[in-house]
Structure 1
Amino acid sequence: MSLQDDLTAVQHCLDDLARSVGRLEQQVGGGLEIRRVRTDAAHLRESLALLRDSVPRDRARDGVELITISDTPYDTALWTDSDDEGLGARDRHAP
């Protein structure tokens, strides 16, 4: 799993937690204990948002290094000792 996938999975879990806390609050009422749980869940969401913002974009790709491929044609001397794959040899015709 990539770092971005992990952050997204945690975000989904925290969303589920917020929904569950909301349902629980409807069942038990709005006492001090449930308000603390709701506040703690909100702090977790804020902390995750801060973490997500602090991760550099390059690190979010899990260290995958991008390689630039030039648009210039390859040197044809590289291919002199090989046949065109799937097309047969140069001096023969395909069936």
Structure 2
Amino acid sequence: MSVHDELTSVQRCLDDLTRSVGRLEQQLGSGGLDMRRVRADADHLRESVALLRAAASAPAAPRRPDLVTIPDTPYDDSLWIDSDDEGLGARDRHAP
């Protein structure tokens, strides 16, 4: 079976699960913690399958991140005028 067929089969099973959970809610009430948890879990499964379906329809080739070129030229010294030398203290002060 193809991925599309498998996802369709999973979707059908989720639809059956949703109907069954709905019937259980009618019989047991929807206010209990256990019932709310089952409903939330079924909804999370539905969302997860939707994400899988979207990922399966995306192009198969992985997208490479854009490369950032770092120049070999030295940084402008004026960028560091207002900073302290780390671990050495400020320029106009002396260590105790």
The TM-score with structure 2 as length reference comes to: 0.57
Deviations 1:10-48 (A, max 9, x none): 000001000000000110112111010000000000000
Equivalence map 1:50-61=2 (5 Å): 50-56=51-57
Q: Which residue does 1:89 correspond to in 2?
A: none
1:44 aligns with 2:45: yes
Q: Which residue does 1:33 correspond to in 2?
A: 34
- Can you give the 5+ residue segments of structure 2 that lack an aligned partner in the other structure? 61-96
Give aligned-pair identity as a percent.
66
Q: Which residue does 1:10 correspond to in 2?
A: 10
Matched-pair contact (CA < 8 Å) for 2:18–2:42: yes
Deviations 1:38-84 (A, max 9, x none): 0000000000000110114566xxxxxxxxxxxxxxxxxxxxxxxxx
Matched positions, count: 59
Amino acid of the residue matched to residue 37 of structure 2? R
What's the secondary structure of 1:7's corresponding residue?
A: helix
Alpha-carbon RMSD across the aligned residues, in angstroms, is: 1.4
1:24 aligns with 2:24: yes
The TM-score with structure 1 as length reference comes to: 0.58
- Can you give the 5+ residue segments of structure 1 that lack an aligned partner in the other structure? 60-95
